[in-house]
Amino acid sequence: MTDVHPTDAGVVVRTEHSLGRLTLDRPAAINALDVPMIRALRAALDAWRGDADIDTVLLDGAGDRGLCAGGDVRALYASIVAGRADEVGVFFREEYALNAAIDEYPAPIVAFADGITMGGGIGLAGHAAVRIVTERSRLAMPETRIGFTPDVGGSYLLSRAPGRLGEYLALTGDTMSASDAIHAGFADHFVPSAHLDAIRDALVTRADPSGPAELVLLFDETPEASELAAKQPWIDATFDADTVPGIIAKLRAVGEPEASALADRLTHAAPTALAVTLEAVRRARELPTLRAVLEQEYRLVLWFAHTQPDMVEGIRAQLVDKDRDPHWNPATHDGVTPDTIAAAFSYEPAVPLWS
């Protein structure tokens, strides 16, 4: 029997025997997260936390374009330019509390990162106990492209990626295929999208005591070879430099056409976002838990939102006016000083994350 609990928040909540199912339901926006959705997800998880009848949770998305395209950055842009900065803090506090709840949830959460799963979508799927990707999966933390920095625990996952892939993926915002995501530690299993309904059914009807991780293995297949893994030798040899200009110089010296093109991209990317992000990934490697990394990210995102023009400018150029011509401040990497980076990591928000 299916028990559906309708909400008006863009989330469908239902229970099917011992399975709790959460479906993001804003397909026209590729299920981009806003505060009502975050609250609906958290409320359902909180309700099931003490329910002995729910032993597994499934997280998926409506539509065929993706699980979640990220946070609703247009809404954040509107809040900042209207001078409602307090709304920005509310969004991030509630989103990060949800990320932590998923990571620490007592019942296993299975996430279908099918299709586009980026930014805030990584914050949902990336911290689940069982993370499934398909041939349609496209994963990324693209925040630097809008003059921002990876958050939602993204820098935790990036910092745990093999070699220097964390620095590479964080600075470039490049998209991972299913095999790339598994190689980088953002996913666990490759399952063809045609088999997702069978997994849903199996999670509901299974009669044996095996957990969802063991059940998913029945559908797991070997994906094609990871292109990211093939590029890792030159990535590791270049993204180990101490600074962004150092990385760019190493990329130009590699003699690899893709590396040279990447050097050009990074040269014109947001200097402050890249410098802070590089430091964030490296500091995250030394932090022991997701909660500790979320605290670091919270300081950084509010520093960007309250003190830096680049986040608003990046959203304007990429998503509002769509002229793809952002004007960064400072405009060059040499303009980012050690004092700027120190200020970002020492920023104290008016409201603590875990208040």
For residue 155, tell me if it sits in a domain: yes
Helix/strand/coil for 300? helix
> CA–CA separation, 58 vs 90, rounded Å?
26
Q: CA 194, 196, 201, 202 torsion: positive or negative?
A: positive
For residue 68, tell me if it sits in a domain: yes
For residue 354, tell me if it sits in a domain: no
Considering the candidates 20, 66, 89, 120, report the single residue annotated as catalytic: 120
Provide the 10 A C-beta neighbour count for residue 104. Answer: 11
* 10 belongs to the catalytic site: no
Number of independent structural domains in the chain: 1
The tens digit of pLDDT for each residue in 107-136 reads 999 999 999 999 999 999 999 999 999 999
CATH number of residue 289's parent domain: 3.90.226.10
> CA–CA separation, 79 vs 85, rounded Å?
6
Residue 7 has pLDDT above 80, yes or no: no
Closest listed residue to residue 97, CA positions, set 122, 123, 71:
123
* 120 belongs to the catalytic site: yes
How far apart, in Å, are the Cα atoms of 270 and each of 1, 157, 190? Answer: 52, 22, 34
Considering the candidates 55, 72, 151, 180, report the single residue annotated as catalytic: 151
Closest listed residue to residue 196, CA positions, set 221, 219, 222, 223:
219
Considering the candidates 143, 167, 188, 313, report the single residue annotated as catalytic: 143
* 143 belongs to the catalytic site: yes
- Spell out the residues 6+ positions from residue 236 whose beta carbon is closer than 8 angstroms to its own: 163, 164
Quote the pLDDT of residue 9: 87
> CA–CA separation, 152 vs 293, rounded Å?
9
Quote the pLDDT of residue 255: 87
Quote the pLDDT of residue 1: 46
For 244-298, what is the HEC assignment?
HHHHHHHHHHHCCHHHHHHHHHHHCCCHHHHHHHHHHHHHHCCCCCHHHHHHHHH
For residue 352, tell me if it sits in a domain: no
For residue 160, tell me if it sits in a domain: yes
Q: What is the pTM of this model?
A: 0.96
Quote the pLDDT of residue 267: 97
Q: CA 201, 203, 205, 207 torsion: positive or negative?
A: positive
Closest listed residue to residue 173, CA positions, set 142, 137, 139:
142
Identify the domain containing residue 188 by its residue range.
2-346
The tens digit of pLDDT for each residue in 63-103 reads 999 999 999 888 889 988 888 878 899 999 999 999 999 99
Residue 332 has pLDDT above 50, yes or no: yes
Amino acid at 313: E
For residue 355, tell me if it sits in a domain: no
The tens digit of pLDDT for each residue in 230-265 reads 999 999 999 999 999 999 999 999 988 999 999 999
Mean pLDDT of the chain: 95
For 197-249, what is the HEC assignment?
HHHHHHHHHCCCCCCHHHHHHCCCECCCCCHHHHHHHHHHHHCCCCCHHHHHH
* 325 belongs to the catalytic site: no
Quote the pLDDT of residue 8: 76
The H-or-E segment that residue 170 falls in is: helix 165-172
Q: What does the pLDDT average to over 197-226? A: 90
Considering the candidates 71, 123, 154, 166, report the single residue annotated as catalytic: 71
For residue 137, tell me if it sits in a domain: yes
The tens digit of pLDDT for each residue in 167-188 reads 999 999 999 999 999 999 999 9
> CA–CA separation, 152 vs 334, rounded Å?
29
Residue 320 has pLDDT above 80, yes or no: yes
Could you tell me which residue, 154 or 1, shows the higher pLDDT?
Answer: 154
For residue 108, tell me if it sits in a domain: yes
